[in-house]
Amino acid sequence: MRISRSIVPNLFTLANVFCGFSAIIATADGKFNEAGFYILFAGIFDALDGFVARLTRSASPLGVQLDSLCDAVSFGIAPSFLLYEVCLKNVHPFGILLASLPALAGVFRLARFNVELTSLEDKQYFTGMPIPAGALTLISYILFFGSGQYWALFSTEYDAALVSIIVSLIMVSRIKYDNLPRPSTKAIKENPIKFAIFILAVILIISTQGTGLFPFMIFYIISGIIRYFIIGKATKKVSKAK
């Protein structure tokens, strides 16, 4: 076995899937908050593996495939299982189908991303909401709103089903969503509004002890839809006019 510098980002990727596996075990044991934090930690490792790969210039096709396989577990299976156990277990067997939708959509999205990948360079936009963002939306709903303690539109089961369906559809859509902003002077100058929104989101989430994460993810979803249907179509009309 030849050891190369790509082993470093790959170890972060494997730490991602270890957190996803730990989240599944915690969910099975009824430790739902702990499971949510494991998925959050998986997201941190998922962000770090790409950063380390760029830093060490060790991005590779193997790393891309490994990342997708790990993401399928940590951001597909783990949050879907958590959604079922917390919100949809009482509507068996339909709860199984509804809870599985984000996992199914997320796996499809990852496969589509890999097939359409043309470069290992960092992307500014993703086609369809990235699966980590889908997982964040799910766990922020489950942990803070799934019990109906803070908010309920219909009931726990109906609300959870609605969130599951929306997240799944947005992931497999062709709507473009922003990549996580990279902290650099050049990037901040090029996208000051994006960084300002990101910083405000972090402040909101911390100040609300996490409850602000789900409303922010809804804002993220809606902003992508608005840009796609309003700004995107307006841009196409201008291009055709020229």
| Lookup: tokens for 25 | 């075990």
CA angle centred on 144, ends 138 and 147, rounded to 5°: 95
Tally Cβ neighbours within 10 Å of residue 50. Answer: 20
Burial of 145 (0-12, 13-18, 19+ CB in 10 A): buried
- 193 found inside a domain: no
What domain range includes position 162?
7-181
- 210 found inside a domain: no
- 212 found inside a domain: no
Residues 86 and 101: their CA atoms lie apart, in Å, by: 16
- 232 found inside a domain: no
- 122 found inside a domain: yes
pLDDT at 54: 75
- 188 found inside a domain: no
CA distance readout (Å), 161 to 31, 77, 103, 168, 198 = 22, 16, 14, 11, 28
10-residue averages of pLDDT along the chain (242 residues): 65 94 96 93 88 76 88 96 93 90 96 81 78 94 74 72 95 87 64 78 82 89 88 55 47
CA distance readout (Å), 148 to 73, 151, 153, 154, 185 = 27, 5, 9, 9, 42
Largest CA distance in the chain: 61
pLDDT at 25: 97
Q: Indicate which CATH number applies to the domain containing 18.
A: 1.20.120.1760
E strand spans, 105-200: 125-127, 176-178
Residues 152 and 158: their CA atoms lie apart, in Å, by: 9
pLDDT at 123: 66
What digits encode the pLDDT tens for the residues 107-131?
Answer: 999 999 988 877 656 567 788 999 9
Q: Which helix (H) or strand (E) holds 3?
A: none
- 87 found inside a domain: yes
Q: Which amino acid is at 76?
A: G
pLDDT at 1: 46
Eight-class DSSP state of 120: S
- 225 found inside a domain: no
- What is the tally of structural domains in the chain? 1
